């Protein structure tokens, strides 16, 4: 994505060259394009309307803050939600950038702490547990997102998953033929049994485009990555996807667009039925009486 001299539309100095579209753009036309890609995605997948209040999950990184900024620019009503994971300096800095953004644009930011809810931070939990950090963290984060939305009385959660994330996830699931996960991979998952609707408005924008959007709009964000992300399989998959894109531009967008069209052909192997957790009352697909979050909580108490 090297910079190019002249914008295709106005012939002014180029800010970015979008290789997958063979398109050089100036800063102004690049910003317009990003906004219109997101607007089209929201409409196409009937994500939400201007009447809704969208709860934006923000980590303090480039993708989620770009998402919040874009939705705000497009005139949607938004509130931010930051979940404090308790992962040392990484979490501290993430929270600071989320707060900085909220202050700058005078937007409401809700903070929820895992330690408050669970009695243990992710870091402490990982030290005590035999499970993989990302599996634990994923469960806890998903639970907290749903719980926060319910507590706040909001029923749409938007996350900053981008084109690269979606490609890596799809490839990972296909390599293992995880039919249930493949079927659930979609830019919008409807509200079900008291769980908020989940939407991913950035699925057609790459990480690099979002990085450049932050630069163009002077959005300050953290570049730190989670201490547990090193060596993660998802990062290896991202590298592989980038290698293919480098050699064959537009592979990522074709892969994802094509998949969304045929996703219904992947029939799930089981229909997960939700029931209320006997302890916290949140909907859960767990076959046990308690949801996985409450089982973790119980384990911590008994230690
Ligand atoms: S899941 Fe894993 Fe992330 Fe949690 S432990 Fe860090 S890398 S933050 S997206
Ligand atoms: Zn231009
Ligand atoms: Zn529970």
Q: Is the dihedral of CA 134, 135, 141, 146 positive or negative?
A: positive
Decide: pTM greater than 0.85. Answer: yes
- For residue 130, pLDDT beyond 70: no
| pLDDT attached to residue 168 | 96
For residue 292, pLDDT beyond 60? yes
Candidates 84, 136, 229: which one to mutate for ligand 1, based on the most atoms within 8 Å of Cβ?
229
Instruction: Look over the chain and give the mean of its residue pLDDT values, rounded to a whole number.
Output: 94
* Ligand 1 atom with the shortest distance to the CA of 137: 4
For residue 2, name the pLDDT band (cuts at 50, 70, 90). Answer: low
Find the 8 Cα to ligand 2 centroid distance in Å.
Answer: 7
Q: Kindly give the distance from the C-alpha atom of residue 281 to the centroid of ligand 1, in angstroms, as a whole number.
A: 26
Poorest-pLDDT segment among 61-75, 213-227, 262-276: 262-276
User: pLDDT > 90: what percent of the chain?
Assistant: 82
Q: How far is the CA of 242 from the centre of ligand 2 (A)?
A: 27
How far, in Å, from the CA of 270 to the mean position of ligand 2? Answer: 50
Please name every residue paired with 80 in a beta bridge, in sequence order, or none if there are none.
56, 109
Ligand nearest to the CA of 144: 3
Which residue, by CA, sits nearest to atom 2 of ligand 1?
Answer: 134
4-24 pLDDT, tens digit per residue, is 589 999 999 999 999 999 999
> 60-64, 76-80, 295-299: lowest mean pLDDT where?
295-299
Q: Which residue lies with its CA nearest to atom 8 of ligand 1?
A: 226
Separation of CA 77 and ligand 1 centre (Å):
28
pLDDT for 37 beyond 60: yes
Which is the closest atom of ligand 1 to the Cα of 122?
5
Give the Å distance between the CA of 287 and the centre of ligand 3: 12
pLDDT tens figures, 236-277: 999 999 999 999 999 999 999 999 999 999 988 887 788 999
* pLDDT over 70 (residue 147): yes
pLDDT of residue 209 exceeding 60: yes
Average pLDDT estimate for 85-107: 97
The whole-angstrom separation of Cα 258 and Cα 253 is 8
pLDDT greater than 90 at residue 215: yes
Give 21-24 contacts, CB < 8 A, sequence gap 24+.
Answer: 21/250
Which residue out of 87, 134, 224 has the highest number of ligand 1 atoms within 8 Å of its CB and is therefore the one to mutate? 134
What is the predicted pLDDT for the residue at 132? 83
* pLDDT of 83: 97
Ligand 1: residues whose CB is within 6 Å?
A: 85, 133-134, 137-138, 226, 228-229
pLDDT of residue 76: 98
pLDDT confidence bin for 299, thresholds 50/70/90? confident
pLDDT of residue 3: 52
């Amino acid at each position: 994505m090297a910079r190019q001299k002249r914008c295709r539309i106005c012939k002014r100095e180029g800010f970015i060259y979008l290789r997958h579209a063979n398109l050089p753009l100036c800063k102004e036309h690049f910003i317009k394009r990003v906004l219109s890609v997101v607007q089209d995605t929201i409409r196409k997948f009937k994500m939400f309307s201007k009447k809704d209040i969208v709860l934006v999950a923000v980590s303090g990184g480039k993708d989620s803050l770009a998402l919040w900024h874009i939705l705000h620019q497009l005139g949607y009503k938004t509130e931010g939600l930051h979940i404090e994971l308790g992962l040392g300096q990484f979490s501290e800095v993430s929270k600071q950038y989320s707060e900085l953004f909220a202050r700058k644009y005078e937007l409401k930011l809700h903070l929820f702490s895992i330690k408050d809810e669970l009695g243990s931070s992710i870091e402490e939990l990982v030290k005590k547990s035999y499970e993989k950090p990302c599996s634990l963290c994923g469960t806890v984060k998903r639970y907290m997102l749903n719980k926060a939305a319910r507590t706040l009385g909001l029923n749409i959660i938007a996350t900053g998953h981008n084109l690269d994330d979606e490609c890596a996830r799809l490839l990972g699931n296909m390599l293992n033929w995880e039919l249930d996960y493949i079927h659930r991979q979609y830019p919008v998952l409807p509200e079900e049994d008291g769980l908020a609707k989940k939407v991913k408005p950035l699925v057609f924008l790459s990480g690099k485009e979002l990085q450049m959007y932050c630069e163009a709009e002077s959005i300050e964000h953290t570049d730190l990555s989670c201490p547990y992300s090193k060596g993660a399989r998802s990062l290896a998959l991202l590298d592989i996807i980038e290698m293919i894109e480098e050699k064959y531009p537009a592979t990522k967008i074709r892969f994802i667009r094509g998949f969304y069209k045929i996703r219904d052909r992947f029939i799930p192997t089981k229909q997960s039925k939700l029931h209320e957790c006997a302890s916290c009352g949140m909907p859960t697909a767990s076959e046990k009486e308690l949801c996985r979050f409450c089982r973790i909580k119980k384990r911590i108490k008994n230690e």
